[in-house]
Structure formats: structure tokens, C-alpha cells
Amino acid sequence: MAEATVWLIILGGMVVTYLTRLSFILLVPPERVTRVFHRGLKYIPPAVLTAILLPELVIRNGALDFSFSNHRLVAGLVAALVAWRLRNTWLTIAAGMVALWLLMSL
């Protein structure tokens, strides 16, 4: 990709990110937004994060792979268990990485 395009992405990324962070702190008084918007906001993290995450775990070489030989899926399930039980970002990442390394070394 052209260097200028990458800088354009950085500039655009900066503007959209800063606008979301500034939104209610400076730009929009909280009482001005519709209730549907407020209610919808809370579904953005689960929807967006899952949509990014799931293909990373179950797509292997361009196809769906729900088998045990899909190391990333198995390691992801281990990490999900840790995330669910312990609610700790660092331990979740560590457990998933260690699980993947163990599976790859088998």
C-alpha cells in the first residue's frame, strides 16, 4: 500500500477515534441523544469484538474448521474459560498463548 494512503488512514483513524472519545465529554450533552442510540451503544462491544474474533479462531486456510486439530480454536476455548472464570485480561492472553504453544509442540 502507498505510504501516503497509510498516512491518510492514520489521519482518518485519529479523527474518528478522537471524536468518539470526545463525544459526550465535550461535543454532545448526554441528554441530547436518543434513547435508542444510548441503548444500542452497549451492544457494540460484544457485536464488533465477536465479529472480529470468531473468524480468527475457526477459519483455517480459508475454510471453517471446528476440529480438535485446529489449535487456535482449542486454545481460544481455554482462554475463554479463563476469561469467564477470572475476568483477567493478562491471564486470558497468557493462558491462550501457553495452550497454543503446548498444542503446537504435541
Is residue 102 involved in binding another protein (CB under 8 A)? Answer: no
Phi, psi of 60, rounded to the nearest 5 degrees? -120, 125
Element (H, E) at 83: helix 71-86
| Least Å from the CB of residue 52 to another protein | 6
Q: How far apart are CA 48 and CA 65, in angstroms?
A: 22
**d(Cα 39, Cα 45) in Å, to the nearest integer?**
12
Cβ-based neighbour number of residue 96 at 10 Å: 22
> Does position 98 bind another protein by CB under 8 A?
no
How many residues belong to the site for another protein (CB under 8 A)?
Answer: 65
Does position 3 interact with another protein (CB under 8 A)? The reply is yes
The residues of the shown chain that bind another protein, judged by CB under 8 A, are: 1, 3, 5-14, 16-18, 20-26, 30, 36, 38-59, 64, 72, 75-76, 79-80, 83-84, 87-90, 92-93, 96-97, 100-101, 104
